[in-house]
Chains A and B, each alone.
Chain A
Amino acid sequence: DTEVTQTPKHLVMGMTNKKSLKCEQHMGHRAMYWYKQKAKKPPELMFVYSYEKLSINESVPSRFSPECPNSSLLNLHLHALQPEDSALYLCASSQVQGANNEQFFGPGTRLTVL
């Protein structure tokens, strides 16, 4: 299996809702990433997990809460989001962090905050 999967594909939520994005890979990768991508812009790094531990947090607001329950799964918990948080959320994985390995991206979750 050489794919990163993400669910759901689309998500619409209100500003008071709580929702979660899920990412899964079965390539044995030990580094997993969350990116946010606005239309016609490059992906912006949000979080990096290395061996299930949070390695990098790019000063992301606390309304975004990542979780890595095991080496194959990565979640992003969302709470009290703002309309400007509407974007494509991409998950990625690589063999390990810090070794110039290819990052494999998932298809993304398109999030709309009303």
Chain B
Amino acid sequence: GENVEQHPSTLSVQEGDSAVIKCTYSDSASNYFPWYKQELGKRPQLIIDIRSNVGEKKDQRIAVTLNKTAKHFSLHITETQPEDSAVYFCAASEHGNQFYFGTGTSLTVIP
């Protein structure tokens, strides 16, 4: 089955700085890569996703890049704000059948 690794496990940045979280996957058949944000005690919420026919996708301060050859994808958050503090999970899926989650990154934005 698919194996998704995520780094770093914790990340602290100053408000206004950028944050980068990286994931690698093992199954070359995976073609859908969502990112979820989970605040303490709340549900995971999709913040951005990318499909394998696209190399980069951006939504305001959030961007995701995908390198299919190297089997890795990254989440970039620019101009971080305290409300960005949360746990972020990457995931990989083959045609949306099953979602394999990374181990999570706890992001803290220091005001």
A residues near B42, Cβ cutoff 8 Å: 107
B residues near A101, Cβ cutoff 8 Å: 96
Could you say which of A41, A56, A99, A105 contacts B98, with CB atoms under 8 Å apart? Answer: A56
Grouping DSSP codes into helix (H, G, I), strand (E, B) and loop, the A interface class, with mixed when no group exceeds half, is: loop
Cα of A38 to Cα of B97 in the assembled complex, Å: 22
Cα of A44 to Cα of B45 in the assembled complex, Å: 16
Query: How far in angstroms is the closest Cβ of chain B from A63?
Result: 22
Are B104 and A42 in contact (CB-based, < 8 A)? yes
Interface window among A11-19, A66-74, A78-86, A90-98: A90-98
Cα of A92 to Cα of B11 in the assembled complex, Å: 28
Q: Does A45 contact B (CB under 8 A)?
A: yes
Cα of A10 to Cα of B32 in the assembled complex, Å: 33
Are A90 and B44 in contact (CB-based, < 8 A)? yes
- A100-B96 CB under 8 A given contacts A41-B103, A90-B44, A107-B43: yes
- Can you list 22 contacts pairing A with B, beta carbon distance less than 8 Å? A40-B104, A41-B104, A42-B89, A42-B103, A43-B89, A44-B101, A48-B97, A56-B97, A90-B44, A94-B96, A96-B96, A97-B96, A99-B96, A100-B32, A100-B95, A103-B34, A103-B46, A103-B99, A104-B46, A105-B43, A105-B44, A106-B43
